[in-house]
Amino acid sequence: MRRCGLQQKQVKIEASNTTLDCWVPSAAKEGRPALLLLHGFVFNALLEWENQLLAFTEKFNVYVPNLLFFGESTTESGERSEIFQAQCMKLMLDELQVLDRVHALGTSYGGMVAFWMAHLYPERIARVVLASSGVAMDHSDSQRMLERFGGGVAHPADVLMPRSVQVARKTMEFATQKKLALVPDCLVEDIIEEVLCYNREHRLELLDGMAIGSVENPPVVPQLVQDVLILWGENDQIFTVDLAHRLQSRHLSDSKLEIIPGAAHAPQVDNPKAFNGLVVKFLSGN
């Protein structure tokens, strides 16, 4: 991260006893727009965006937070929804004195956070990129994802936070096109302990507290006023590509949709060159 000109900072939000762990520019470049990167549910910020940072820091002042209960980000608040995550991200930008409008790029769960930021704070969010993000999902989409995964899993946590080597291998191959046959079990065990199941109890609360996809009280998904790019992997098995078309047709009719051939749920991993190029082009106004 430091070779990308970023340094780690702990940002305190006193009102909710929240601490946010964020990588920020060591020295923000004058005249460059700010870009907020919001990771998904499987990986933390460092692992999620390792293939993007060099490309993005050449064009933008990049801010890379860990969402609550990832990395060193914590809260004493009992709120667990992605809407609360969005509120915390806005307050973090306030504390960092990033007061001009910023671009927001979120993948999967992070895309839901970016979506709510754009809706709640249109005066603060410029352009929005939603990558592989189930903003338009309902509870039945979660059930179909579990069926595609197979193996008798009963809860999204069994896929997103697996506790066995066998299921962890399947999760990582389910999310990307990478094959892990040569990765030794001992390394997979480390990934389970240090990444996939890190803070598992609190992250279970995040899944159960999600507004989008809720069974009992799903939110009305609002329109956004910003320019929006929807990015999706052609072979996504977590949120299949029909969800991308549903998001555009039902909720973001003026958005631009790009499908990345051959990529799965993590196109930023499977094809970073295509992913980075599309993001930079869109955020640069082209």
The per-residue pLDDT of the chain, averaged, comes to 94
Arithmetic mean of pLDDT, 147-175? 92
Closest CA to 141 of 70, 236, 228: 236
pLDDT at 107 over 90: yes
Report CA-CA distances (Å) from 247 to 240, 244, 268: 12, 5, 20
- Domains of the chain plus CATH, in order, are 2-138+207-283 (3.40.50.1820), 140-205 (no CATH)
pLDDT for 162 equals 93
pLDDT at 213 over 90: no
Low-confidence winner among 3-12, 170-179, 268-277 (lowest mean pLDDT)? 170-179
Mean pLDDT of the region 8-16: 95
Is the pLDDT at 286 greater than 70? The verdict is: no
pLDDT at res. 214: 84
pTM for the whole structure:
0.96
pLDDT of residue 181: 73
